């Protein structure tokens, strides 16, 4: 993982803009079938924990399932694009929702006191099985990642307009911004549902780490202007403002502002007009 992935495996600017707007990026069936077949036994056995801040290169044993997972070209390319080379691991965990368990997780954000506006951690969520609606799936609220909350402040909300419940083919991997509102849904099926999660911390500035060949593609602006149903039009402007500020940080360009959302409110001219007398009765100097 210390070597750079091939450029063709990095995210595009359109994909990065999608992540900035939605707070997530989904790659369907990216893990090979033979690894998915191996995964359940591995996850049942458990994957040894590591201390906070362990370099990814030292987190998993050589040749282990987890190491092979993060070394898959598309996954390694996405990790590099989002958090850069040589990230550290905050933690990892196996989540199992038992068949007909009868309980769901409250809607929450994982970052309790994390208010960084220009940096973020990324969570990888791997689903080794086909996930059906009956199996519950992970619920998330697209575009919620920049609306700051403290962990379970949103726990009293049961349903929000535009929320998604993940259904996916086996081998799907989803990358989430650390601040997105999400929760594991109740499993009403007869099959245990498995998910493996890794949270990555960047060790470099998250500036232009992806393939920027399409940086000026018109679809980038379209992604950044995405609207979501859970907020009203007026408050939605705040979400667009926040995501443009994040895009400026990621591109290293504080003039990147497709519809001038940030420009309007950051306008602080420095030009000073020479002072003149405002007294209308001031005596005029007579010509010589």
Q: What is the pLDDT along the chain (288 residues), one digit of tens a residue?
A: 446 888 999 999 999 999 999 999 999 999 999 999 999 999 999 999 999 999 999 999 999 999 999 999 999 999 999 999 999 999 999 999 999 987 778 888 886 677 788 899 999 999 999 999 999 889 999 999 998 777 777 877 778 888 999 999 999 999 999 999 988 888 999 999 999 999 999 999 999 999 999 999 999 999 999 999 888 777 778 888 999 999 999 999 998 888 877 888 888 888 998 877 666 665 555 555
Tokens for 96, please give them: 């199992």
Which candidate, 51, 80, 83, 45, places its Cα nearest to that of 65?
45
Provide the whole-model pTM. Answer: 0.89
Q: Is the dihedral of CA 128, 130, 133, 139 positive or negative?
A: positive
Q: Which residue bears the tokens 């601040």?
A: 179
Rounded to the nearest 10 degrees, what angle do helices 233-251 and 13-22 cross at?
140
For residue 143, report the phi and psi dihedrals to the nearest 5 degrees.
Answer: 80, 5
| Distance (Å, whole) CA 284 – CA 265 | 41
The rounded distance, in Å, linking the Cα atoms of 150 and 109 is 7
CA distance 36 to 64: 14
Spatial distance between the Cα atoms of 60 and 69, rounded to a whole number of angstroms: 10
221 CB-contact burial (10 Å; exposed 0-12 / middle 13-18 / buried 19+): middle
Q: Are strands 182-184 and 24-27 parallel, antiparallel or unpaired?
A: unpaired
Domains of the chain: 7-201 (2.60.120.620)
Cα gap 273→48, rounded to integer Å: 66
How far is residue 230's CA from residue 226's CA, in Å, rounded to a whole number? 12
């Amino acid at each position: 993982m210390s070597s750079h992935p091939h450029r063709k495996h990095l995210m595009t600017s359109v994909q990065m803009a999608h992540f900035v707007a939605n707070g997530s990026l989904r790659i369907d069936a990216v893990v090979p079938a033979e690894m998915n077949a191996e995964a359940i036994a591995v996850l049942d056995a458990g994957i040894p924990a590591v201390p906070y801040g362990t370099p990814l290169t030292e987190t998993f044993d050589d040749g282990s399932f987890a190491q092979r997972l993060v070394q898959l070209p598309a996954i390694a390319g996405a990790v590099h694009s989002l958090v850069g080379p040589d990230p550290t691991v905050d933690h990892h965990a196996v989540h199992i929702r038992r068949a007909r368990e009868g309980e769901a997780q409250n809607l929450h954000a994982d970052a309790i006191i994390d208010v960084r506006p220009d940096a973020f951690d990324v969570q990888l969520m791997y689903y080794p099985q086909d996930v059906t609606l009956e199996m519950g799936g992970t619920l998330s609220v697209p575009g919620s990642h920049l609306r700051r909350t403290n962990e379970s402040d949103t726990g009293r909300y049961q349903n929000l307009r535009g929320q998604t419940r993940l259904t996916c083919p086996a081998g799907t991997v989803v990358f989430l911004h650390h601040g997105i509102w999400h929760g594991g849904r109740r499993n009403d099926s007869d099959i245990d549902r498995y998910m493996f999660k890794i949270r990555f911390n960047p060790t470099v500035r998250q500036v232009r780490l992806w393939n920027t060949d399409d940086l000026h593609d018109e679809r980038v602006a379209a992604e950044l202007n995405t609207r979501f149903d859970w907020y009203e039009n007026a408050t939605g402007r705040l979400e667009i403002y926040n995501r443009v500020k994040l895009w400026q940080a990621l591109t290293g360009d504080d003039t990147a502002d497709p519809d001038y959302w940030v420009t309007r409110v950051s306008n602080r001219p420095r030009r000073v007009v020479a002072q003149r007398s405002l007294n209308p009765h001031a005596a005029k100097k007579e010509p010589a």
